[in-house]
Structure 1
């Protein structure tokens, strides 16, 4: 995987083999950050990266100037790798080994951007629980945005504060905002860049 933009643009990062991950593709990551770039100045943000895996998304935020990033994953190998790269690149990433739902239940900090990339194989109810927990615990700041990466088989449009959705190849990104209309205009905002 490589860093798309920012201070370390073009740098390749090679995670060790055997990590239980499915990293966001470079194409999808670039498209995602093109969207976020229209909403945020990355240097001022507090970021939460859930199911962080290799740290792919955290590293991209850090390269673009974010210096308050929390990466959460249950796998020791993933957290060890994120710590290693953060130290090597001097990124300010707090990497936490924890079950994501246990972390959310205990956490009282709010964030500008919450990104979650759960395993695609998790069931619909588990994906929905991520969204409901974040909003019930008010973990997203008022002008913030939550992004969930998922497959076409997971449906997010009906959930609270759903704003819009984009697809790139086989990956879908659902965006949630507190100031959205709760998803009344679902369908009008769907965009696909597939193919």
Structure 2
């Protein structure tokens, strides 16, 4: 696993083999951040990384200057590894061991970007619950964006605040924004498609 851009571009990170994770591939990660680059200057963005696993996505945001970053995972080993790596790189990452749904129900802060990478086999209704909790509890900033990574078998384009999605192999990134930004998003998506083809 490596950091693909920013201050620590090219640095490799080697998590323990026994962590219960499925890290986002470098190809998918690069595609994701190419899209986000069209919307954000990452410096000092507040980031929430849900089902953070190894911290793969958190490190990528941190390398680009985002801070602070909250990384939530229910596995003690994952949280310990993120804490160790954040200290080594001096990243402003706070790992939190928590059930993601309980965290979303209790959290009062808001974020510029929320990324979630739940287990691909999670029930459809639980994917939908993540989206519902985030928008009902107003956890996303007005100009912010939420991204959920999921398999092609999970469909989220019917959900409120859905903006667009991108398919990379067996992985799909679904993007959500507050509905007030919908018209602008459609225009930018069209521009983005020109580069995809």
TM-score range, shorter chain: over 0.9
Could you tell me whether the CA contact under 8 Å between 1:163 and 1:180 is conserved in 2?
no
Could you tell me whether the CA contact under 8 Å between 2:156 and 2:162 is conserved in 1?
yes
Structure 1 runs of 4+ aligned residues shifted over 4 Å read 188-191
Could you tell me whether the CA contact under 8 Å between 1:147 and 1:176 is conserved in 2?
yes
Shift of 1:180: 4.0
* Partner secondary structure for residue 141 of structure 1: strand
Does 1:67 pair with 2:80?
Answer: no
Which residue does the alignment assign to 1:113?
113
Which residue does the alignment assign to 1:100?
100
* Partner secondary structure for residue 157 of structure 1: coil
Q: Distance in 2 between matches of 1:180 and 1:67?
A: 24
Which residue does the alignment assign to 1:138?
138
Q: Distance in 2 between matches of 1:3 and 1:169?
A: 21
Q: Distance in 1 between matches of 2:25 and 2:19?
A: 16
Does 1:78 pair with 2:73?
Answer: no
Could you tell me whether the CA contact under 8 Å between 2:143 and 2:181 is conserved in 1?
no
1:84-133 deviations in Å (ceiling 9; x for gaps): 00000000001000000000011010000000000000010000000000
Which residue does the alignment assign to 2:155?
155
Which residue does the alignment assign to 1:167?
167
Which residue does the alignment assign to 1:88?
88
Give me the TM-score of the superposition, normalised by structure 1: 0.93
Shift of 1:44: 2.5
Could you tell me whether the CA contact under 8 Å between 2:58 and 2:71 is conserved in 1?
yes
Which residue does the alignment assign to 1:177?
177
Q: CA RMSD, aligned part only?
A: 1.8
Q: Distance in 2 between matches of 1:14 and 1:82?
A: 11
Q: Distance in 1 between matches of 2:176 and 2:159?
A: 9
Q: Distance in 2 between matches of 1:71 and 1:43?
A: 17
Ranges in structure 1 where 5+ consecutive residues have no aligned partner? none
1:130-167 deviations in Å (ceiling 9; x for gaps): 00000000000000000000000000000010000001
Which residue does the alignment assign to 1:13?
13
1 or 2, which has the higher helix percentage? 2
Shift of 1:82: 0.2
